[in-house]
Structure formats: C-alpha cells, structure tokens
Structure 1
Amino acid sequence: MSSVTTPWRRRLLAGLLLTAGLTLSACQRPGAPNAGPALSASAAASAAQTSPSLTAKADALLALHRQMVVLMDGEAALKPAEREAVSSVGLMLFHDLQKGQRALVEQAFAKDASLDALAQLLDRIESEPSWFDADRLAFKDLLLQLQQRLGASQSIAGLKLAKRAQEDLAVLSEVEQAYERELRDTFGRFAQRGIELKREKWTDYVAKLKTIYHREQILKDYATILPSVQAKPSAGKSERELFGQQLPEKTVLLSFDDGPHGRYTDEILEILQRYQAPAIFFELGQNLGSVDAQGQVKPGPGSDVARRVLAAGHQLANHSFTHGLMSKFAQEQVRDEAAHTEALLDKAGRSGQALFRFPYGARNDEALSTIESLKLRSMMWNIDSLDWSDPIPKSIAARVIGEVQKQQRGIVLFHDIHARTVQALPLVLDQLVAEGYKFASWKDGQFLSADRKPLDTGDTQLAGAALYRDSHALIIGIDQYQRWPRLQHAGRDAKAMQETLQTRFGFRPENVKLLLDGDATRSNILRALNKLSGKELKRDDRVFVFFAGHGSTRKLPSGREVGYVIPVDAGLDDLQTDAIAMPQLQELGEALPAKHALFVIDACYSGLGLTRGGGASNNNNFIRDNARRLGRQMMTAGGTDQQVADDGPGGHSVFTWTLLQALAGKADLNGDGLITATELAAYVAPAVSAVAHQTPAFGSLPGSEGGEFVFELAAAQEQALSSDSGQLDAQASALAKRLDEAKTAAQAPTAKAVQVKLQGLDGKEVAIAAPTAKVDPGARVAAQRANDRGLQLYKERRYEEAEAAFTEALKLQPRFALAANNLGFIYYKRGKPVEAARWYQKALEMDGSRSMAWLNLGDAQLQAGDDIAALVAYKSFVELAPQHPRTAELRAWIAQPDAAHRPKLPG
C-alpha cells in the first residue's frame, strides 16, 4: 500500500488542501460541536509523515461522520420531538460533510494538483490503523468520484489510482454487507492491498464513538441553529402546504432532494422507468447553474440532467439555491434563493405548478409567505428514508417500508445524491408494488395517479383538516321569559357559544342561526330545527344545537318522566302544548340527514333524553370509522331532579362556562387535536359536578350508529403576552383551577382508556371510555399547543404552570420566538425583570420584527433600573408599532433628555 511521495509533493498537497475551503472542524460555525479529540497517537505519527493539513481535513470529515452515527443511533426509539431535533442536526452535519467532500475533490483535481497528493489521500483512507472499518464508509462517495475521474486518466499512474479506488470500493461493499448481518457469518476473502478489515461489530463501533461524542452535547452545541418551523396551523396548514397524510390510503408519492447529480440521478431515472413510478425531484439551484448580479441565468451541467428528468416524465421542483437554513434568512434572501432557482428550472424547461421544499423543513410564517408570493407551494414529507445518515441500503429500505406500512400513505423523502439510495430504491419499490401501493404525483393543484388521473382523496379530506363538508348550528338563549322567571346569563351563554363556533371551529356565520329572547318562540325553534332537515344539509355535514334557558319535567300517568325545554312564550301549566319535549328533539335529530349531530342543553331538569346506547370507536382508524357512522348525541347541564347554576364566572352559567373552557382545548384528553363529544362529556361532567350541585348527563340518541361529533382544534391566534394582556378575575381563576383538578381522574397516565362515571340521559349512572392514550402530534404542533396552554394558564393567573408550559414549548421548538417572549413575560409578572429581559432578547434574536418583544424588553429593563437599555428598546418598538396605544406616551418619554424628568410609565 506504500506510495512514493517526495517532500515537495507533500508540501504541494498541503497547500492544495489549505485552499480547498474545507471546514477544518464543525466548531468553526458558532454553536457547533468541535471535532473531538485526536484519533490516536498513531494517527498523529502518520500525520507527521504526510501533511498536517491533510490530516486535519481528513479527521474533520471523519469527525462529522462519527457525530452523525452517534446522533442517529437508536433515533427510532426517541420521542417525536427529540427525533425531529436529532434528524435536523444530523442533516446539517451531513451537508457539512458533503460540502467538505466536494471541495476536496474539486481542489484535488485542480490544474496544479498532483497524483501523488491523491495517492497520499488513499493511503490515509486505506491504512490509518486507528480507524474502524465503518469509519472508512465516510469516504465511499469520495472514492466513487475518484474512481470515475481517474478512470478517464491519460496516465498509467492515474489509472492505477483509479484501480485502487475501485478495489477499496469493493471492500467497502463487503463492509456494508457484513454490517447488515452484524458479522453473523464469516467474512470471505477480501482484497488485501487496500483496506485491511478488523472485523469489528457495528455495536462495538458505535460504543467506541459514544466515548468520544455524546448525543446530548451535540444537540446542545447545535441548539442555537436548530430549524424553526411553521407553527401556525390556524393559517390553514393543509391548504397552504402539501403533506403525505393528504394522500389516499395505499398511495405514496416519491420525492428526491438535493440533486441533480451527474451519475445517481440518471440511475434513479432508470429504476423509476422499470417500475413506471413518477417522482418529484427537488433541485438545488447551485447544482443547476448560476445567476449573476444582473439576473442572467447561466445553466451548468446539472441543467442537462434536469432536462433528462423532465424527458423521463417526472417533475422538477425548487429546493432553494444553497440549501441554507431559510428560517434564519431575511425575507429578501429567501426570495432570492427561491427566485434564482426558479429561473434555472424554467431555463431547463420545467412546466406545471411550481413546488418548493424548505431545506431541513425549516420554515416560519414569513418564509412561507415569501415563497407563496412567488406562486410557489410548499410540499413537505411524512416518511423520511434517512438515506443521508444510514450507510446500509437494506436498512434504508426496511425503514421506508416500515413507515409506509404504519402510515398507509405518504410522501417519501429520498436524496438522489447517494449510491446507497440507488441500491435501496429497487428494494422499496419491489415491496410497495407487491403490497398493492399506487404511485402518485402532483400537478395543477391536485394529486395525480401514475397515469396522470386525479386521485379521489374524499376519505382523506375527511381525515385531514376538513372533517366535515359543512357545519350548521342552532343557538338559543332566553333570559327575558314572558311567564317564567327571568334568567341572567342565558343570552350571554348563547352569544359566547356562537362566537366560539365561528372563530374557533370554522362554522360559517350564515350557517349559524341565533335565536335570543323574544325570537326564541316554540314555533321559531321548531321551524329552525325543521329547516336544518332541508335540502342544504348533506351527508357529510354536522349539526350543533345549543339551548340555554329554562327546562322542566312532566310526570306521565305511567310513572315515567319526560323532560322539556321551555321556549320564551311557554305557559306555566301546559308543557305538552307550549314546550318542546326531549323525545321531540330526539325525533328531529334522527331525521337530520347530517352525519353527526350534538344537542347541548343548559337547562334545569334537562337530563331526560332517552338513550339508545352506542359508544365511540377508539382506535387508530377512529377518523375513518367515525366518518362512516351516524352520530346523534346529547349532553345536558343537570339531572332529572336538579336545578342548574345560572351564576358562574364571566357572566355565564357554571355549565356553559365549563363547556367553553373545554372547547378551548381542555377537553382534548389525548392530545390528538380533536375533541369528541365523549371527551367533552368526560371533562365537563365531573368538573361541573365538583363545583356545583348538578350532574351533567350524556348519551346517544335514537338513530345513532356509534358515530362521534368531533371538534377539531386549531392553534390559538398568535398572542404575545404584554402588560395589556387580559386575565380572568380571581373567582374565575380559582374555579378554572378546580375544574382542572376535577378532570385528573379522566387522564390517568398509564391507562389507554379510563371509565368515567356520569349520568346517562335516562337518569341512570353510566360509564364512558375517555381516551387518555396520548397522541404525539409532532414537535411543531406540540410546541404550539404548549404555548396555547401557557396562554390559557396565564389568563387564569396560574403563573408557575404557565412557565412550565412555555418552557415545554421551547424545549420542543427551541427557536419559538413567541414562546420565548411569553416565558419572559411570566418572569416579568413574577417580579424577575432581569430573567425576563434575557428571554425577550432571545425572542428578538430569533425574530427581531416582534414589536411586542421590544416593548416588553423596555419595560423589563426599566424595571431593572437600566434606563439606557430601555430607551434603545422603546425606540425600536415605536418604529415598528407607530399605531400602538402606548406609542404616544413612549415617544414623550424618549423625547425627554433628562431621565429625572421623564414621565412615569405604567408597569
């Protein structure tokens, strides 16, 4: 394995590598991990005999490879939030490794480079005694490029080096096969002139690396550059972006990032042709060519590859120009990255709807809006092959197949820049074809089948953001009774329910009928209910009926009791004629053509709706099953012999106030973003019973087939806490805490489902299964929900719990500027201005455009006695928010040069 290398050639190699632009170690990037200790004393001795520069750069590349191995080891067993963080950092390490390898190859084949320099490099890869077999897998792509370029050499020396690279690749192929079996079989004969194998196990290799690197430290070192991603489901995630869950069952869409590649893209095209599978290739602009300062497009060799992708019938899409972390870019830089790549794609002949994929999946609302302004649509993925981190093709294939089988549909992420992806892809496609999966593409605003026909995503639409085709509601609130005692809060209850349905759950105003006081006559209520049964109501709709007012009971000669809701014009003596009986409501509910209907009755003596039974399906296919089953359910405020409290907090009855709290998110017992009627009852009934002398009842009505009425939670509107943020009064805050304490029985952490006992509609005690098995929504959504929970807890003056919620949001999404601001305000509220200022500053480091964070920072610094720093913060605030109510007083404060004479500011 020796090669003749003269001292001057060594100096030349050192000079080449010093100018190659390689990252000496990851620690050159702020906040990134260092490359670890020297590999061994023998490595240092070997370096002394060759080139210190070569040693440093080879060790830097290997350090990145090793950190990737440690980071990704056992990632499948991590929690989703941890797995996302690990994957993001690992992908950054991988791209550092790719850049280093590209720079090394380009400089090694520069005009003034020598073959002796390449021979030294091969010596290092082949014979460094401190390296493991798996270490050398880090240089597989490098060896492939050396083999290709040297194979066309015009010199004997060049051809010999190409042969060495080819022999080394053959040995590495054996290494891969061996690790697939974990060395259960004996190695065969290997080429001895190149890499000499030590036959260590992969587990031994990983164990050794873990003595050098630690996942926790790698994540901590990279925490300041973890991707920040969109955290605004309320903005219409399913409409703004494309996700794999939107595909029909047994359908996958293949996507490839980071190309085009001069060799592997063409090989992937051949494989796709064999399986007649379409794909979308998300290209990097820098791989297609360049765009000069005047906007002139200069296609490179990659554009020729892109044209071959189009000629093969596949789609080209935009993956930015440089693969930068676009959530950290200014909007103008985001625009340039996307626009330059668009120009190159157009030059290559791309047509059809333009798609965009954010590198690392890192995006915020500003970045997403910027690419949308270029008429681009974001496409994400839900099945990650991790082909960039896994050196074993069979392992890559097994991962993809396992995820597809688990999710039954999805957009699969591959990269067309690896040899191992080329090897893994046929294994994946073989299995998918055998299992009857269909391949999809995207064009003209819709998913298409492989033969370019629109896919029927009807079931999937119901399982996604649109659980129902349309939503209808009848809301009734009566305070001003003609003959019955007047109430205080029923009208306010009805209006609050109307607002909740429209603002939080997307009920269209024209579909919400509100009847208050004099309008809520018996004939008007029945007319409105009958109208709901008309032609405008469809099978996939839902109907919500809410009544707040008086209720009563009439005892029949048979001894059975019948409950009634009391319209505004009802008399005191003739309920049968003037009121509306519960059986009549049930009959009207059964006649509704809608899929699901829920009646909520906040009235005295209202727990007399006869039940037919029927429970909710609680399994992985809940949404799909629930979409097929009719549901007719009712929840009442009290039992057959109970009056209900009309004097709850916030100007509501206790029952309705608790119901509104539940619909704000507290009734999502398993964290899946959905509140079923059963979950609603499981939260409301025990909570109300704990604070009032009434027992809410719940059950299914005749005509129900076990379907569940479902409320889908959206994220709360973005709210940055500040000194003008509203809070509940002391009574409401105390009651909210008692309600939460009352629901703990329905949320046992170890149980899949808890039997919650409450009153049935027939007056008998029943037990319902309240789901408690927690659903992991992914780090982004979980962080948003934690922030929303913190906002609610702040409103309830529960500061310690709010602090924990905002801290959880930041742990899930470390670059969540809104949560950082809100956590700072909790510290400020608790009299800790210094800690508050630190979090406000962190929020502004993440997003300097947040005006409220500047205002909060000024308030905190002023409270801490730092008037000069407060002055700087206030100046930034008034520039960003000239119309804010506090801007005028702050301008006056800023304009006063004498600090002693400045007006006192609130807070």
Structure 2
Amino acid sequence: MHQVSVKRIGVSALVVALLIGGVLFTQRKPPAPPGATAAALPASTAPDTTAIRAGLGEVLAAYRKIIVLLADEKTLSGSELAAANQAGQGLFHDNLARIAGLEDAFDALTASRDPARFEAIGRLLDYIESDPALYDADRLAFRELLQTLQADVARDASLPAIKMHKRISEDLDALAEIEHNYEKEIRRIFGRFDQRAIELKRERWDDYVAHLKKLYSREQILKDYGVVLPYPAPKAPPADETTKDEQGEIFGRGLPKKVVALTFDDGPHKLYTDEIVAILQQYNAPAVFFNVGRNLGTLGPDGSPKLGPRAAVSRKLMAEGYVLGNHSFTHAQLSKQTGDSLKAEIFNTDALLKAVNPERSPLFRFPYGARNGEGLHALETAHLRSVMWNIDSLDWADPVPSSIADRVLRTVDKEGRGIILFHDIHERTVKALPAILDRLSAEGYRFAGWDGSGFSLAKGNAVPVEKAAASPGYGESWAIVVGIDDYAKRPKLHYAARDAEAVRRSLIEKFGFKPERVFGLSNGEATRTNILALFHDKLAHGGVGKNDRVFVFFAGHGATRKLSSGRDLGYIVPADSDPAQFATDAIPMTEIQNIAESLDAKHVLFVMDACYSGLGLTRGGGSGGFLRDNAKRIGRQMLTAGGAEQLVSDGGPNGHSVFTWTLLQGLAGKGDLNGDGLITATELAAYVAPAVSAVSQQTPAFGSLPGSEGGDFIFELAGESEFLGAQTAQLSNEAIALNSKQEAARAPVETSGKAAPVVVVKDLQGGEQKIVTPAAVPTSQRQLAQRANDRGLQLYKEKQYAAAEAQFTEALKLRPDFALAANNLGFVYYKQEKYPEAARWFENAIKMDPSRAIAYLNLGDARARSSEGEKAKKAYQTYLELAPGGSGAGYAKQQLERL
C-alpha cells in the first residue's frame, strides 16, 4: 500500500503540478519566525532528530527533481522523455529506500518512551507545516511519511500522543484539501468556467516549477543518474536518400544510395575474426557477425548452454560495439530441414548467443540463403528476423584476394547500395578487405550498422567515415634545445637547464619528435662553437628536407646592443661568453636569421626564453584553406620571452621560468585557442604573450623573420588517453594559482566580426601587432569529443571540478560511447564526494569498455565510500583479474582485506 502511494506521486509528478503554492498550512498554523527552520529552533532536551530532518530534506529534493524532470513532458522528444523516465525511476527507487529508513526512525522514536519524544516529533512537524522555504506543493512529498507517523503515534494511548495524533490528522486533512482544490481546477478547465481564474492558477504552478528549476536542472539530474543526452542527430537526408523499410526479410536494397552494410558469416574464428575487426576499426566501420552455434559451444541434455573457447571472441566483438547474429547451429541447409531438427538449428544457437551476451541481436541468416516457409515461421516464433544480402563476395570460393575485391566493387557499382556478404573464416577475406574499404571510402560510400530495429547510417564514430582533420603534412621533425644556468663569467641562472629538459621531453613524448633528431646542449656544453655546430652540422648539413620542420628553444642570457645606425640587435649568450668580448663570442640574431634562411625546412620556429629586440618582421595574410595554403608557404618565426633589457622571471611553478611554464601549458593544450587539435605558432604566441605579461614585467614578442612567406609552424595535439584515477597527478597550488591569474587576464582586447579573439602582442621590433586566432580546421564529432575530454583533463588537474565536469559532459554529448570521458566524469563526481553518482558513471564506462581495469578500481572505491561492501569487493576483484600486475593491484588487495 505504501509503495503504491509513493509511486503514484512519483509517476504523477505533473499531476502534483496542481500544487498551486497555496497557503493552507500557513493559514492554519502559526508561522515560524522569519527565516526560522527546524534547525534554527531553540535547543531542548528532546531526542536528536538531526538525521531525520536531513532525511526529510533528501526526500524533498528527490521529489522536486522528479517534477523538474517531467514538468515539460509535452515538449520533450522521445529520447529526452525516455532519459527523464530512466532518471525518474532511479530517483523514485532511491526515495523508497530513504522513506523506508525514515519510517524505521519514526518507529524507533515513537517506541522509545522518552518523555521528550513528542517534543522532537513536534519540531519535525514544525518544519513540514511552516518552514518558509516550502511551498504547499513541497509538503505533499511528506504525505506518506505523515501517514506512517500517525499510525505509530496511534499505538500510544497517552494524552500527548492523542494531541499529536490530532495534529497530524489536521495536517493530512490540509493535504487532502490541496488535492481536492486541484481537482476542482481540473473540472473548471473542462467545464470552460472562468478562464482568468484558471490562468492565474497555472501561473502560480509555473512560479513553483520556475522556483524548482532554479534549484535543479534537468540535465544535471539526468547526469547524476548516469545519463547524458547526445546532441540531436543530423537532419534526415532528402526524400530520395531516406531508408526504405524492408518488410520481412532484409536484403539491403532499402538502404540509401551509396550506403552499404558489412556482414561476416561462419565465425567466430580464433585468428581471422580479430584481424578483420582491426581492419574495420581503421575505417570506423560497423558490422554484423553471424555466428555458427557449434563454434560457440554445446548444449547439455537439459538444454543448458556450455560455452567453448571461441565464445570469448564473440564476447569481445560485442564489447567493441559489433553486432552478433544467428547463423544456425551446424550450418546445415535449412530448406531441407523440418520439425524439431529445424527448430534446434535456430533455438540452440540462440541459447548460446544469449549466454555470450543477452543483448545479442534478433538477426538470423540462413546458411547458403536456403530457407523454406517452415523456417521463416520458426523465426517468427523465436522473434528473429532473416537477413539476406544483395552483394556476394564469393570469398568462400575465390582464393584470390584481388579477385574478391574486384568482384565486390563491381557489384557495389551496379547495385549502388546494399548488404555485402563476407566470411570471417578465410585469410583471403582479411587480405581483400582493406582494398575494398579504401575504394568504397574514396568514392563516398558510407557504412550502415544495425541500430536495433533496422540498418541505418551509424552514429558518431562509424558513418560516414570521418576523415581526421587534415594533417600539417610535415616530413621529419628536428629540434635544437639549449639551456644554460652555469655561466663562466656571467650571473648564474636557476631554471634554464630544467626548462630546456622539460621542452625536450614535451617534443618527444607529446609531439612525436624522434629522440635522435632532438639535439640538446646544457650548461658548459653550450659554448658558442657547439651551438653553431648544431645549426650547421646537424641541421644545415644534416639532412633537413624541404617538407620538414625545425624547432629551436634557447633558455639563458640574452642581450641587446644598439648599433651605430640606431637599430637594436639581439644576441644569445653562450655559456663561455666573456662580457669583455661580447661582439665576438655572443651569437647575434643576424647569424641565427641567416641560418634560418639557409635551412631547407618548410617551417622553423625559434622560442627564446631570453630577451631580444632588433629583428625584422614580415607578415603573412590569413586564408580560409589554412592547412592547404600553409603547406605551400615557407615559415620562419620567433617567440621571445621579453623585450630589450627586460629581466626574465625565473621563479615560475615546478622549477621553471614563468615564460617556459606558460609555454609548456600552451603546448599541453591551452594554446589550441580554436579547439581544432592544432596549435600554430601564432596561437601559441596569442596564448603565451598576454599570459606571461599578466604575471610578470615581461612583454613577450612574436613575429616572422625576413625570408618568411607567411607559413605558420604547427604542433598537432595527440588525444589524451588517461583514465582518471586516484594516482592521477594534479598541479601544485602554486601552479594552479598562477594559471588562474593568467586565465583571468586572457580576455581578448577586441573581437572581430566572426567573434575570433584578437590579441595585441609585441612584434620583434618592439611595436604592437594584432593577432587573430586562425580559423579552426574542420573536425569531426569524434575529434571534438576528444578535445573536450582533453580540456576536461586539464581543468581536473587544476582542480576546477565544475568546469571539468562540463567538458566531460560535452564529450559525452558529442560521442555517447566515449568510455574515457564516462570514467573521467565519474572521477570528478568522486572527487566531490558524490559517490553514488560516481559509481553510475564508472559502471557506464565499464559497459562501454568492459576491459578497462581502472574503471573497476574506481568503482570499487565509490562503492566502498557508499558503504556497499559486497559490490566494492566484486569491483576490486575484477580489477585484479584484469590487471594483476597493475599499478593499483597492491591498493586493491589492501581494500579487499579491509572489507
């Protein structure tokens, strides 16, 4: 009876929408003092009801969230309503547990025989009756609890109990009156009575809902319950491109033009199935694998399935997002089968597939395509659907891969669309498949997957085959990295050598520079002779090609000398430089400029953590086809830490100068100002210059050297693959404080017509220039999701949890199957001590990627913090099974011993 009553309120939250925000309680009961709540009332010797009061607040919060979820039901799409129902069910069942706990607490309180128990109950009623923060609509959340409390009090025959029973009865009557008034409003609506009165009532309800929406958002409630709604799918194609519904058997002829579905029969195979999957993943192509039952296992005398070794291949297929179909038990010609033997071929394999994964598809393929009426009827009984094909590779008969590929492509050209039949039990299929997919992709064909009800263009990472953002197109990457702290005849520095080493690691580990092509000099090694030898011997004469890039980093002393012409000339100062011989043993920037012009490389970027001036500047115009045009232009650019005679700030975080720390942060992803996964030298300067100026007396300068044709050096960011966990390092408080100060100063000075940030930066001659962020290179949904995840990771490391949560949420909207982002969102919840919510997202990550061990470790921690010991044990044990030698294995064993 209790559950039915509570469920009625949960399901009919909109009907509770009546709850007009009236004043029945406040009219009947004396109001509390302004601002008073149960917690603010005078202390007494009554039993402590703090936990009960908190529980009432949690019940109210869940009740309100259900209303927010469903208040606009008529405006929600089907998927939005389904998600709201899912989260609402979670809220409802959680509230049942809370209400059951409160009922137990009421039972214990009324049965305690404590003389002050009724005073304690009265305080709880004061909150329900007259707390000024409550609407009457809120008070209906406590109706069932009041009924339970009334029944508890009725067991006591004392005078205080009788008075309390009367008070509760009056409260229940008031709640009944509210509902009764709402019923009268409904009758007025249908009776077409006073429209203005009705309108006023709706406004009052809307005020109540508006109040709740200030407290909660539908998106946040859904996310707390493990749901992030993806962005709406693109609009349907034109009428002649829409998928036609194929009634009965599916042949693929109803697919849109230039759309094919890939299917593979007769597996799983212990070798070739995995190889085929590896090829499909390169093209982001979905597929259906029709399994023969005897390859999966056997059935016992009682019909119970017993899976064999190859079932693991099929289980892995489903874990990676592929679809399993039924291809009979023995691959017999079913057109010749009848009765029980025919049914066994269908139902036995279905039982084995369900044992592999209950979510197996309802698809069946007749071996050889041979079927009869009885077989088709048997499929209906089993709720399976026959899938045929209209493009046959004949790979079971043709031993020549090139011939198989030619046959498929010719047939596809003829048919224009359809289902292709392959077999994943032949090596020749493995060899033929790449050529087929290459050609189909090049000709604009897209791949369809099974969506649960039909073949359709796959979402997100599958169709169309999403081309990666065009690559910067470099050949080899070269670097010279020099850091000097220990000067023989000049003041010593403290961070330069460490800065150079950090930059060297970043080039190799993050941007793929080969270690053998990154040449470094440190301290006493960095003499004038050795520095120039690197430029001349390793670069100018060392094989640098026309399509290569060269990056040069120098950290050390710099100087500026005024020439007789009045022009400033910058120098870098080697470790062995003598101030008395400055003109001969320092290296003038004119010499560096000459070296830069002599290199065959396409793009060269100098980054100098020192102070310079006196360099010429040329400017290149922007272009819409950025990467295409940039590849044609020679680029020679320089970014310096400061202007002439400015001192470089050595005291940045983590043992770096302020400039190099900011540079490393930019290269870690913050310099990707337009979010396309590429950091140009221009973007890097637009990020670094204002950020450094905001926290120091330096004004970094940037520009193109003479001889440049406007090309822009490019770093291509690799997607972050780190699953957040307890071992993930975060930045020091010093680093976070500096980053926050820099971020606050990064607002653009002005905005162009297209809302691209415009940043004012010093040029290499000391003047000012305006830098406009380059237009973003087109990216796919998948890449945008990766970038959002990467930004979330940066924000997490800076302990900006709300902002990180927003970025991981964005990643999941763009790519709903993104296990990495799901885990990371869960860990952000975990860090905020929202353990049930964290557990839901760790479970989501596991569903998306069951082999991801760290998600089980995180899930164990979340369950343990939620006092769910058995569930925590299971998660820790699974982690140890997947990663017995993992970095968290010792920790997981310790946790198991404690539970």
Q: Return the TM-score normalized by structure 2.
A: 0.54
Asked whether 1:730 is paired with 2:733, we answer yes
2:674 partner SS: coil
Q: Is the 8 A contact 1:607 1:696 kept in 2?
A: no
Asked whether 1:351 is paired with 2:354, we answer no
Equivalence map 1:397-416=2 (5 Å): 411-413=444-446
Asked whether 1:762 is paired with 2:762, we answer no
**2:699 equivalent in structure 1:** 695
- What is the CA deviation profile of residues 246-277 of structure 1, one whole-angstrom value per residue up to 9, with x for unaligned ones? xxxxxxxxx9999xxxxxxxxxxxxxxxxxxx
Mapped partners of 2:890, 2:283: distance in 1: 44
Mapped partners of 2:659, 2:448: distance in 1: 55
AA of the residue aligned to 1:827: Y
User: Shift of the alpha carbon at 1:856?
Assistant: 0.9
Mapped partners of 1:539, 1:296: distance in 2: 62
Change (3 A) 1:770 1:863: same
- What is the CA deviation profile of residues 345-368 of structure 1, one whole-angstrom value per residue up to 9, with x for unaligned ones? 4125362397999xx9xxxxxx9x
AA of the residue aligned to 1:741: A
Equivalence map 1:202-601=2 (5 Å): 241=282, 345-347=394-396, 349=398, 351-352=401-402, 376-377=433-434, 411-413=444-446, 464-465=470-471, 467-531=473-537, 532-534=539-541, 536-601=543-608
1:102 partner SS: coil
Q: Is the 8 A contact 1:381 1:413 kept in 2?
A: no
Mapped partners of 1:476, 1:607: distance in 2: 20
Q: How many residues align?
A: 547
User: Shift of the alpha carbon at 1:82?
Assistant: 4.0
**1:805 equivalent in structure 2:** 807
Change (3 A) 1:299 1:726: farther
Change (3 A) 1:533 1:81: farther
User: Shift of the alpha carbon at 1:592?
Assistant: 0.8
Change (3 A) 1:891 1:81: closer
AA of the residue aligned to 1:102: G
Change (3 A) 1:868 1:657: same
AA of the residue aligned to 2:637: Q
**1:883 equivalent in structure 2:** 885
User: Shift of the alpha carbon at 1:668?
Assistant: 1.5
Mapped partners of 1:792, 1:84: distance in 2: 29
Mapped partners of 1:580, 1:893: distance in 2: 60
Mapped partners of 1:482, 1:510: distance in 2: 29
Equivalence map 1:9-20=2 (5 Å): none
User: Shift of the alpha carbon at 1:882?
Assistant: 0.8
Equivalence map 1:662-811=2 (5 Å): 662-716=666-720, 718-745=721-748, 751-771=754-774, 773=775, 776-811=778-813
- What is the CA deviation profile of residues 200-236 of structure 1, one whole-angstrom value per residue up to 9, with x for unaligned ones? xxxxxxxxxxxxxxxxxxxxxxxxxxxxxxxxxxxxx
Change (3 A) 1:862 1:502: same
**1:102 equivalent in structure 2:** 248
User: Shift of the alpha carbon at 1:761?
Assistant: 0.5
**2:62 equivalent in structure 1:** none
Listed as ranges, the gaps of 5+ residues in structure 1 are 1-25, 35-79, 107-138, 143-236, 244-254, 259-288, 301-321, 361-366, 385-408, 417-459, 900-907
Mapped partners of 1:494, 1:373: distance in 2: 47
**2:664 equivalent in structure 1:** 660
Q: Is the 8 A contact 1:776 1:782 kept in 2?
A: no
Change (3 A) 1:414 1:886: closer
Query: Structure 1 stretch 650-659 or stretch 751-760: which is displaced more?
Result: 751-760
**2:865 equivalent in structure 1:** 863
Change (3 A) 1:583 1:296: farther
- What is the CA deviation profile of residues 815-864 of structure 1, one whole-angstrom value per residue up to 9, with x for unaligned ones? 21111111111111011111111111221222222211111111111112
Change (3 A) 1:568 1:640: same
User: Shift of the alpha carbon at 1:770?
Assistant: 2.3
Equivalence map 1:783-862=2 (5 Å): 783-862=785-864
- What is the CA deviation profile of residues 455-503 of structure 1, one whole-angstrom value per residue up to 9, with x for unaligned ones? xxxxx99x83351111111111111111111111111111111111112
Mapped partners of 1:737, 1:379: distance in 2: 51
Mapped partners of 1:720, 1:32: distance in 2: 28
Identity, % of aligned positions: 44
**1:77 equivalent in structure 2:** none
Mapped partners of 1:786, 1:585: distance in 2: 39
Change (3 A) 1:618 1:654: farther
Change (3 A) 1:618 1:381: farther
**1:248 equivalent in structure 2:** none
AA of the residue aligned to 2:613: G
Mapped partners of 2:868, 2:234: distance in 1: 37
Change (3 A) 1:829 1:354: farther
Equivalence map 1:562-641=2 (5 Å): 562-603=569-610, 605-611=611-617, 613-619=618-624, 621-641=625-645
Mapped partners of 1:372, 1:677: distance in 2: 46
Change (3 A) 1:564 1:821: same
Q: Is the 8 A contact 1:686 1:758 kept in 2?
A: yes
Q: Is the 8 A contact 2:751 2:758 kept in 1?
A: no
AA of the residue aligned to 2:401: S
Query: Structure 1 stretch 465-474 or stretch 628-637: which is displaced more?
Result: 465-474
Change (3 A) 1:256 1:503: closer
Mapped partners of 1:524, 1:826: distance in 2: 49
Question: Greater Rg, structure 1 or structure 2?
Answer: 2
AA of the residue aligned to 2:515: P
Mapped partners of 2:797, 2:750: distance in 1: 23
Asked whether 1:651 is paired with 2:655, we answer yes
User: Shift of the alpha carbon at 1:293?
Assistant: 5.1
- What is the CA deviation profile of residues 742-797 of structure 1, one whole-angstrom value per residue up to 9, with x for unaligned ones? 333179596354432111101112222223x5555121111111111111111111
Mapped partners of 2:481, 2:430: distance in 1: 40
Mapped partners of 2:752, 2:860: distance in 1: 42
2:478 partner SS: strand
AA of the residue aligned to 1:786: A
Change (3 A) 1:606 1:240: farther
Mapped partners of 1:632, 1:851: distance in 2: 46
Change (3 A) 1:618 1:579: same
Mapped partners of 1:745, 1:562: distance in 2: 31
AA of the residue aligned to 1:481: Y
Q: Is the 8 A contact 2:569 2:588 kept in 1?
A: yes
Equivalence map 1:104-119=2 (5 Å): none
Mapped partners of 2:728, 2:803: distance in 1: 17
Change (3 A) 1:382 1:825: farther
Change (3 A) 1:801 1:534: same
AA of the residue aligned to 1:576: A
- What is the CA deviation profile of residues 55-114 of structure 1, one whole-angstrom value per residue up to 9, with x for unaligned ones? xxxxxxxxxxxxxxxxxxxxxxxxx984656679x99x988x745x034x99xxxxxxxx
Change (3 A) 1:667 1:691: same
Q: Return the TM-score normalized by structure 1.
A: 0.53
Change (3 A) 1:534 1:778: same
- What is the CA deviation profile of residues 303-329 of structure 1, one whole-angstrom value per residue up to 9, with x for unaligned ones? xxxxxxxxxxxxxxxxxxx9xx9xx98
1:545 partner SS: strand
AA of the residue aligned to 1:511: R
